[in-house]
Structure 1
């Protein structure tokens, strides 16, 4: 599969107008894709943002001509009925054929609980996601759909405007069960960088392969997408300090457990030293060394890297990456 390099539009950090301008710049700088998270709430209250992904993707498609765009990830199981997502992404697929990806996941309490949604255990969230994907694809392929699932129902529902080719569905996962499902029913797999190597090599990729084999496929049939967290700048201090906004990503699952309020999440994250905040990021000042560290994820088998930069000056990042990093990456032989 051809290598692709994307830009993560940081919805939690910038307002929608800034985000749209940066995403347009990403296409101009030579990036292949733009992905946005669909969060109701950001990781921090002060200075945080949470623009809705669906209208943003429509605006982005209208302002660009060739980039692939999608969600990383959207939860089609609580705030949205799967039928609403089926309709929205069918519309995007008609308007921007071949350029749209629906990235889905099982969700986070931070985005659902504030709307009064009871937060179920992981087993139910997984079951809901599986059923939602089935319903979305059924609505994309059939007319007059009557669906009686454990969680969702439709009665003679039809999506009237559908693209000729279904929008690909990528499944985001950080555990083996959802990763196996991605291998079995997904068109692609989404995960994030900066965790222990054994998670990818010993748990996630074997689970993905197992799921693919059950469906008579191999990993080469899937787009393996790694949201790669990078802080590249010629100034080492600046590269380190930029990561502090996203310090919440360095919190352990135990530290974040049960946190449903951005104010509380912010309180936990600002207490972390910069060294820990930077621990989830590839922090570099030298382009060759930076590319060498990124290659590690290519060596694991990921072929679509979407770069998330933490700094406030995204135009600076896009210019540096477009001039110094992307050309080096495109010369690699994989």
Structure 2
């Protein structure tokens, strides 16, 4: 049965707002949290970008939901040895409820120290080596590593969880999905792409590891007015609908604002569930379940957060539970609680 979580957007909200959303998500019946890791927002209208590891520490104190980075790039802006330390501490603070989602990143966040932004194949190679470094440090042993991209000398993590956090790999194309199958404990995607998920599930053609989870996410915009919702989604998140590799190679929010002129409101309206019709939201989310996602995280665009959580608690999550029960041929397990909320690359 597919589970549903909430996607915390560090690009659009400050730390206090993100904590309020986490509380509301738990009260509404969401099962987990994703949180983005950015240095910049995609555009100035989004307006935020708190340091994700600080927010994760705070999340551990305000709710009991599992948390995953979606996703962290451990290759340029942050050395993999530092990501390993941050992830291990997060797993300790969250009592084993942390997953480390990793990806090959975007120039928007990773070029800020003046390092060159390599092509996609090199970024994937860097990601593979970074995961090797992180897993070595998770053992608690002293690590010295001299690789193609990274050097680690006499490094050891002293604050370690009982169980290392699983490492999930993001992919938007077949090469990255094949890498995820090779090195990941799970698969991160934002597309209901059955073929891409199948690449991960099949592994190297040896049957793969079907037990590894597929973790997905999408954005929606609830509002009482569908037209207002479409306008909000277009103003804040037109970047999600840019073609090709623009999301990976454009370096600044201003460049994204220029490119966003290519995206019309009609494009957004066709792609994003907008407005107050629960069936519209359910159809979009069921597409991910039908493609093979084990967990789908939903991010609400814009300021109407409390209305969104009430809407999902009372209308959308119950319909999804019914749909999952029908698909599984039985009664829904662990149906979402119905109590009132208490708070707010293409390789």
| TM-score of the two chains, using structure 1 as the length reference | 0.91
Q: Deviations over 1:90-121 (max 9, x none)?
A: 11111212211110000101111232121111
Name the counterpart of 1:124. 122
Superposition deviation, residue 76 in structure 1: 0.5
Of 154, 177, 194, the residue aligned with 1:201 is: 194
**Structure 1 residues 265, 93: CA separation in 2 closer, same or farther (over 3 Å shift)?**
same
SS in 2 for 1:115: coil
Alpha-carbon deviations, 1:235-261, whole Å to 9, x = none?
222232221110111111266574211
Distance in 1 between residues matched to 2:263 and 2:180, nearest whole Å: 34
CA offset digits 1:28-65 (Å, max 9, x no partner): 2111111111111111024421111111100011111x
- The alpha carbon displacement at 1:324 in A equals 1.1
> Aligned partners of 1:314, 1:270: CA distance in 2, in Å?
27
Equivalent residues of 2:106, 2:249 under 8 A apart: no
- What's 1:262 paired with? 253
CA distance in 2 between counterparts of 1:132 and 1:88 reads 14
Offset, 1:234? 4.1
Matched, 1:177 2:138: no
Q: Tell me the secondary structure at the aligned position of residue 40 of structure 2.
A: coil
Question: What value does the CA root-mean-square deviation take over the aligned residues?
Answer: 2.0
Deviation of the 1:179 alpha carbon: 0.8
Q: Tell me whether 1:291 sits opposite 2:282 in the alignment.
A: yes
Q: How many angstroms does 1:26 deviate by? A: 1.0
Aligned-pair CA distance for 1:223: 1.1
Summarize the alignment of residues 24-63 of structure 1 with structure 2, pairs less than 5 Å apart: 24-63=23-62
Contact 2:77 2:112 in 1 (8 A): no
Which is further off, 104-113 or 291-300? 291-300
Indicate the structure whose relative CO is greater, using CA pairs within 8 Å and at least 6 residues apart. 2
Q: CA contact under 8 A between 1:183 and 1:222: conserved in structure 2?
A: no
In structure 2, what is the equivalent of residue 280 of structure 1? 271
Structure 1 position 115 matched with structure 2 position 105: no
**Per-residue deviation at 1:270?**
4.8
The more displaced of 236-245 and 31-40 is 236-245
1:328 shift after superposition: 1.9
Please name the residue that 1:13 is paired with.
12
| Structure 1 gap segments, 5+ residues each | none
Q: Distance in 1 between matches of 2:19 and 2:70?
A: 16
Matches within 5 A, 1:201-220: 201-202=194-195, 204-211=196-203, 213-214=205-206, 217-219=208-210
For 1:258 and 1:140, locate their aligned partners in 2 and report how far apart those are by CA, in whole Å: 31
Give the secondary-structure state (helix, strand or coil) at the position aligned to 1:189. Answer: strand
Aligned equivalents of 2:248, 2:159: Cα separation in 1: 41
- Deviation of 1:274 (Å): 1.2
- Which string of whole-angstrom CA distances, capped at 9 and with x for unpartnered residues, describes residues 59-82 of structure 1? 011111x20111100001111111
How much does 1:12 deviate? 1.0
Q: Which moved more, 1:238-247 or 1:105-114?
A: 238-247
Using a 3 Å threshold, how does the CA distance of structure 1 residues 56 and 135 change in structure 2: closer, same or farther?
Answer: same
1:237 aligned to 2:227?
A: yes
* Runs ≥4 residues deviating over 6 A: none
In structure 2, distance between residues paired with 1:274 and 1:78: 34
Equivalenced residue count is 324
Superposed, 1:113-192 pairs within 5 Å as 113-192=111-190
Gaps of 5+ in 2: 329-347
Distance 1:223 1:258, change over 3 A: closer
3-state DSSP of counterpart to 1:283: coil
Q: C-alpha distance in 2, partners of 1:185/1:240?
A: 38
Q: Quick one: distance in 2 between partners of 1:80 and 1:72?
A: 15
Q: Is the 8 A contact 2:101 2:167 kept in 1?
A: yes
For 1:223, the equivalent position in structure 2 comes to 213
Deviates more, 1:318-327 or 1:277-286: 277-286
Aligned-partner Cα distance in 2 for 1:270–1:24: 35
| Alignment partner, residue 2 of structure 2 | 3
